[in-house]
Amino acid sequence: MADEGEILWFAPLMRGVIPLDDRFHIPHGLKRTLKGNRYEVKVDTAFLEVISSCRQREETWIDDMIANSYTQLHELGYCHSFESWDDEGLQGGLYGVAIGRAFFGESMFSRKTDASKVALAYLVDWLREHDFILLDTQWMTDHLRQFGGMEVPREEYIKLLAEALAEEGEEG
C-alpha cells in the first residue's frame, strides 16, 4: 500500500484468502445474475480503466506510485484485470498480481449491481482452469466472506504461499 508517496508492506497476523476448492460459494442472487448472462467478462482488455476506477473512492491506497507500479507489472505480464462489460461499457472489475500459482487480488470496483462479483466468480474459474492454488485477498471483509472468504493465521498463510510459489502455474 502507499502512504504519502512511500510503498508500505503489510503482513497481518490473519490473512484473507478465498478458497479455490469447493468452499468457494456463489451467493444465490449472483447465481441468477450469472445465469442471465448480464455481463460479458474479459481479461486484460481495459487494465488502465480498471485501476483508474478502483482509485475513484473517497479514501484509497492507490496513489500514482502504486498505479504506475501495477501498470508496469501488467506490461510485464504479472498483473491482470478481469472486467465485466455490458452494452453500456465497463461496469465492474478487479485486478491483481499472478506469481507462480498464487493470485493476489488487489482491488475491485462496481458501477452496476453484481458487476464486480461476476468478475470475481470468473476469476475463480480462471484460476482453477490454470491450476492456481491460492487467491490472496490480504484483508477479509464481509463482502468477501459471502464467497467463502476466510482468514488464516500468518504461519498457515506462509505455508500456502510457499506451496503456491514452489511451482509455476500455466500462466506463471
- pLDDT tens per residue, range 54-112: 888 777 777 788 888 899 999 999 999 999 999 999 999 999 999 999 999 999 999 99
Q: Which CATH number fits domain 11-166: 3.40.630.70, 3.40.50.720, 3.40.50.1370, 3.40.50.2300?
A: 3.40.630.70
Instruction: Give the pTM.
Output: 0.88
User: What is the domain partition of the chain in residue ranges?
Assistant: 11-166
For 4-8, 16-20, 38-42, 132-136, which range has the lowest pLDDT when averaged over its residues? Answer: 4-8
- Tell me the average pLDDT of the chain: 90
Residues contacting residue 141 through CB under 8 Å, at least 6 positions apart: 16, 149
Residues 22-27: what's their mean pLDDT?
90
pLDDT band (50, 70, 90) for residue 172: very low
Cell numbers 500456502: residue: 160
Q: Which conformational region is residue 44 in: left (phi greater than 0), alpha (psi within -120 to 50 degrees), or beta? A: left
Are the C-beta atoms of 135 and 110 separated by less than 8 Å?
no
Backbone angles phi, psi at 101, to 5 degrees: -110, 25
Residue 31 CB-density burial (10 A; 0-12 exposed, 13-18 middle, 19+ buried)? exposed
